[in-house]
Structure 1
Amino acid sequence: MKANKAFNLKKNTRAQVGIGTLIIFIAMVLVAAVAAAVLIQTSGILQQKAQSTGKQSTQEVSSNLMIKNIEGVRAKTGASLSSTIDLLKLQVALNVGSSPVDVNQVVISITDGSIAHNLVYGGNTKSYGAMTGFSGSNESADNLEALLTQSTNPTKFYTVDRIRDEDSSFSQGNPVMNTGDLIVVYISTTSSTGAALTEIGSTSGDLQTSNLSLVPRTLVNIVLTPESGAATVAEFVTPSSYGVKENVQLYP
């Protein structure tokens, strides 16, 4: 007779860490590290793009140029004065916090309601070619004379002169405005009446017409468009009578 054998099963709740589990754990750590590196890199790129976009947007919506004053000058011969404004003198400065502005890239649009011109700086050769008689030296008076007396110049160009330039960085050949600079922009508005006379301010010669006609009560619109930033607009109506004034305050 055989003896009865009893079989007992042991309960063991302890797990054994094998090589497979270790490999899975290492893989998870590596995946997490790669994912973290990708997220950090992506966030850095997005931050740089956001900063660049914000800076560009600020430049586009902010106005760099500011027109502080506009004065009109009438042509004359002796005591005879033109019935129109034949030269505009715009005092232009930079707004607070503006970056430097290259006047070579500033386009000035002007209209008297009938005729419109898009003007570039006399030293800019890209749009219309070189302005006839332009000099890159600091002789702004010579460039103003060329603007007023050389054919087609009044319909295509404007010239400038510096009023305040503490660091001496502004010149006729390199007209770059920095913070604190103040310049005067000359725009020829000589009409057929003014061209029949011989002098505008200290400039004399055979005056050329701009085809504009700034008679009394004329609505004039001027827009300064820099390379970057918002355009600057000045709109005014000429006085009802110029009287015997050679220089007429127009704006503001």
Structure 2
Amino acid sequence: MWKLVLLALALLAVAVVAAAYWSYRQASSAAEQAFVAIGSHAQTEPDAYDPSMVADLPEVAQRYFSHAIEIGTPLHTTVQLQMQGQFLLGSPQDHQTYAMTARQILAPPSEFVWIPTLRSGLIRITGSDALVEGEGWTRFWINSLVPVVNEYASADLNRSALTRAAMEAIWAPASLLPSNGVEWSQTGVNSARVTFPTGIEPIDMTLGPNGAVTEIFSMRWSNENAQKSFRLQPFGGTVEAEARFAGFTIPSRVKMGNHYGTEDYLPFFQAEVTDAKFQ
């Protein structure tokens, strides 16, 4: 009798593992399809950049575009990124560091798919974070079997994801042009506020004298707090290096996180962009 019980338990375990893996594979396939779909919507023959396009903007915005976009560069607003770095999970006092590699397609200010691999020892976390056609998701598994986050579209998640898409527009500078409905205001000698047509909270940037982004900040709708309650809270970080790709100069090394500027700040996203292909 006990042999039959053991056999039944073994079959049940196999079924559970198979179901978990099947769920992971379905989610991975959906992310790949969304990745391709965003790329297929990209404009194939955009206009070329001319400083006259930003002549009516505040000085700080003109400075940014003069630095970020070379004259004559085709104004592609979608970009595929390859990145590496570290991802920190936990609190500032107690967190685990994972080696990160990732690829992303980004069409600011409203769409992205981020597909990372996080590794620490024998643990491998994979999945995707996305906002596609107004619907967001965050879905990750340990070793392709154990779900650690499995969130589908909701008003809260979509709102949070829109802030991410807007903040990451610094990786697709052409998306920040006024012709795309973006509004710029100068808030200081070296600072600007950028407002997007999506209606999401504005983004604040600090620029260097040459127009390079050095800091970025927004109030983001998030439940990354002790109460696990969605609310507006500071999110941001610093730019530590930049690189030029196909006529665009973009931040290439960043540190970003929740509760920016407070004692609870943890720069959980520490990424270096190793390649950027604009389309």
Tell me the TM-score range normalised by the shorter chain: under 0.3
| TM-score of the two chains, using structure 1 as the length reference | 0.27
| TM-score of the two chains, using structure 2 as the length reference | 0.25
Question: Which structure is richer in relative contact order (CA contacts within 8 A, separation 6 or more)?
Answer: 1
Structure (1 or 2) with the larger CA radius of gyration: 1
